[in-house]
Structure 1
Amino acid sequence: MSVRDRVRVKEVRTLSDDWYVLKKTTFDWQRADGTWQTQNRETYDRGNAAVILLYDPDRRTVILVRQFRYPAFVNGYDDLLIEAPAGLLDNAEPEERIRKETEEETGYRVREVTRIFDSFMSPGSVTERLTFFVARYSPDDRITEGGGVHDEGEDIEVIEPTIEAALAMIADGRILDAKTIMLIQYAALHLLR
């Protein structure tokens, strides 16, 4: 029996359709013991996305970005968030989108990208599935200053720490973004050992 056989959707209500879509769904769930239980869940649908870590194995550096994130701010984080470049797919294929997003945010034009895994980042409430990539870069690959798309409200600073400095930023709390932590740890284990 698949999970699809264990879910009976009764009602779906749209609560908000402004920035992204927030829905409240009432459904019946067939529990492991065979009984049915009515549950309610809210889901926030912002679409799927892609994220990338650029790494230079010769200099043992990575490219990260710093930007303002309102949800982190209202949860008490009074600094710019350090992240790996990322963006929503907007109906594009993940590899196509991450190439464009990398150039917009960092100014680097990547050649070969490697897809390493997919992950649901907050599956209890957010529908987003994130595709993770890594790509080699060199200083010669930078074709613009980056900084993001002004009309989309992006105001992005590009930083280039060593892998050791990035790991230290995770340890001391300067990097709190889950997708970035995952990519830096991947790089430390598999790319920049």
Structure 2
Amino acid sequence: MTAPTGRPGIDVPDPRGRTGLDRQGRDLAGNARVRVVDVEVLACDWSVLRRTTFDYRHGDGHWSRERRETYDRGDGATILLYDPDRRTVLLTRQFRLPAYVNGHPDGMLLETAAGLLDGDDPREAVRREAVEETGRTVHEVEHVLDAFMSPGSVTERLSFFAAPYDGSAPGAESAGVAAEGEDITVVELPFTEALALIRTGGIADAKTIMLLQWAALDGPFALSSR
């Protein structure tokens, strides 16, 4: 069989069946100081790496031509599971290659459960991820905030949620979707210990730090709720 000719993700489907990936971002019109000139797809497999050329009008009025790369992996959601009575939180531990490459001792990060939306509503996606990564089913979830985690280069917008879990019920010690290469250890910690791990570097994941500090300032473990 002859392989299709063309550019994957543009003229012919990429490994995920997508085409026209070079059209995203060309029609942006919300900022009069930005004029998009060109969008190129540098790579597309699971995620998409684009290079965008644009003209930008600076504060003093002059225009300059800029070029930036953006990494598009889709949007995601994360959730802090907590037991208000036992004052514990439920986290995960899994291997993260980028952290390992960039100096983390073993790449094994403590994190809140999280994942990509994959076309789902953020609330539905975060319920799915809670089950897949911790073995816990949650129903009513509280929306905490939305944030761009690395806006200088990554397009992802992450939705943050929180929900109580029943710590007295039996739970899984390991979880994850084996078909996706996930090998996740479920870790229950006293909330005060989790906060201490932020200070010592034992928790170095941004979304987890943000949710734990929210829990301490405005959430279930805030001073006003004690």
Q: Same fold (TM over 0.5)?
A: yes
**Within-5 A mapping of 1:178-193:** 178-190=206-218, 191-193=220-222
Aligned-partner Cα distance in 1 for 2:126–2:80: 10
Aligned-residue offset at 1:35: 1.9
Aligned-partner Cα distance in 1 for 2:169–2:134: 10
Give the direction of change, closer, same or farther, for the CA distance of 1:140–1:163 in structure 2 (3 Å limit): closer
Aligned-partner Cα distance in 2 for 1:182–1:117: 10
Cα contact 2:143–2:161 (8 A) shared by 1: yes
Match of 1:60 in 2: 87
Q: Which of 46, 52, 55 is 1:25 aligned to? A: 52
Q: Which amino acid counterpart does residue 81 of structure 2 have in structure 1?
A: L
Cα contact 2:173–2:185 (8 A) shared by 1: no
Bigger mean CA offset, 144-153 vs 62-71: 144-153
Aligned-partner Cα distance in 1 for 2:62–2:169: 58
Structure 1 portions without partners, runs of 5+? none
**How big is the alpha-carbon RMSD for the aligned residues of Structure 1 and Structure 2?**
1.5
SS of residue paired to 1:159:
strand
Give the direction of change, closer, same or farther, for the CA distance of 1:165–1:96 in structure 2 (3 Å limit): same
**Within-5 A mapping of 1:77-88:** 77-79=104-106, 80-88=108-116
Aligned-partner Cα distance in 2 for 1:128–1:73: 21
Match of 1:174 in 2: 202
Cα contact 1:51–1:179 (8 A) shared by 2: yes
How many residue pairs get aligned? The number is 192
Match of 2:7 in 1: none
What CA deviation, in whole Å up to 9, does each residue of 1:44-90 have, x standing for no partner? Answer: 00000000000111000001000000000111112211100000000
Aligned-residue offset at 1:39: 0.3
**Within-5 A mapping of 1:1-193:** 3-79=30-106, 80-139=108-167, 147-190=175-218, 191-193=220-222
What CA deviation, in whole Å up to 9, does each residue of 1:110-155 have, x standing for no partner? Answer: 1210001100000000000000000011135666555110000100
Cα contact 2:176–2:182 (8 A) shared by 1: yes
Give the direction of change, closer, same or farther, for the CA distance of 1:182–1:60 in structure 2 (3 Å limit): same
Structure 2 portions without partners, runs of 5+? 1-28
Aligned-partner Cα distance in 1 for 2:190–2:221: 10
Of Structure 1 and Structure 2, the greater helix share is in: 1
Could you tell me the percent identity over the aligned residues? 56
Structure 1 length as normaliser, TM-score?
Answer: 0.95
Give the direction of change, closer, same or farther, for the CA distance of 1:122–1:22 in structure 2 (3 Å limit): same
Q: Which amino acid counterpart does residue 57 of structure 2 have in structure 1?
A: Q
Find the structure with the greater CA-based Rg.
Answer: 2
| RCO higher in structure (CA 8 A, sep ≥6) | 1
Q: Which amino acid counterpart does residue 205 of structure 2 have in structure 1?
A: D
